[in-house]
Amino acid sequence: MADSPEPQAEPACGDTPAPSPTEGFAGGGPAELKSPGPPAPRSGPSRNGLDLAALIAAVLGVVILIVLGVVGPIRPLFWTAGVFGATALVLGILGARRAKRGAVGNRGRALTGAVLGGLATVWFVNGVAVASDPFHDVSCQPGPLRFQTTRCFDDGLQVTVSAPKPYTPRKMGQSSTDSPVGSRTVSVEITIRNGSTNMVDLEGMGSIGGKDANGHQATPIWEGDDLSRGLGHTQLLPGMTKVMRQGFALPPSAAKSMGVEVSLVTPPDVGIGWNRRDDNAWWSGPVR
């Protein structure tokens, strides 16, 4: 009798046979274990705080310059405003470029800071140039003054009064003051130059008066002749000038010479806006 094959042992209940190394893979090759690996780093948006810094610096520079134009020259604050203006200009340009390249930031805010910073810088440079300009170096005379000479007031204003010359008022009804019959009418030109580093407002600056050769009050002729050229009527930036013409009626017996007084309400060198004082000067000489 042939030998029967030996019976193979049955796996125990609950035991699961181990899978073949090649099971479940086409071609029977070995299993390839794949690792997901670390996630790719995300490129977050770059930060850009230059726009805000430029705007803040620009606002500070402009505000300081405006305040100095009201209260009077304060040299340390003036130089501080110049630093703020230049800083805002540089930061604004850099911030606008970064925002254009996609960095987080407000390009409009950066450009606003650059523009305001540029204005403050121009104002500052102009003030420094005016204060040290040798081409406008005037000879400031103490009183009493002759016509064609310049008086320098404490706040940096430079005032020059021209010699009186014949003047024909406009027709009746256009002048607010009627000159006496037979009087000689003359006019002078008052040139006011801002020789300081600050803005000066001539609104309500004071008055202009005259006296004849006998020391009596000359009759003013109010025609509002403003010969100024440039920006504005009362506010003078550093280096700007204002020219006005004032007419007077002199009696024939006292018309060979006259005196002219210019009174300005000027702020002190350092102080607050309402702490102001009157300052005046007299010019005199022959009438042409």
Which of 129, 120, 193, 201 has the alpha carbon at shortest distance from 156?
A: 193
Q: How many CB atoms lie within 10 A of CB 264?
A: 23
Kindly tell me if the per-residue pLDDT of 4 is higher than 60. Answer: no
Query: What sign results for the dihedral spanned by CA atoms 203, 205, 206, 209?
Result: negative
* Per-residue pLDDT band at 90 (split at 50, 70, 90): very high
Kindly tell me if the per-residue pLDDT of 56 is higher than 90. Answer: yes
pLDDT given at position 49 = 82
Burial class (CB in 10 A: 0-12, 13-18, 19+), 257: middle
From residue 225, alpha-carbon distances to 87, 100, 187, 222 in Å are 43, 52, 10, 8
Kindly tell me if the per-residue pLDDT of 76 is higher than 70. Answer: yes
Torsion of CA 205, 200, 278, 189, to 10 degrees: -50
* Per-residue pLDDT band at 269 (split at 50, 70, 90): very low
Burial class (CB in 10 A: 0-12, 13-18, 19+), 15: exposed
In tens, the pLDDT along 174-224 reads 444 556 677 899 999 998 888 877 777 777 667 889 999 999 999 988 877
pTM exceeds cut of 0.75:
no
What value does the mean pLDDT of the chain take?
A: 75
Q: Say if residues 186 and 167 touch (Cβ distance below 8 Å).
A: yes
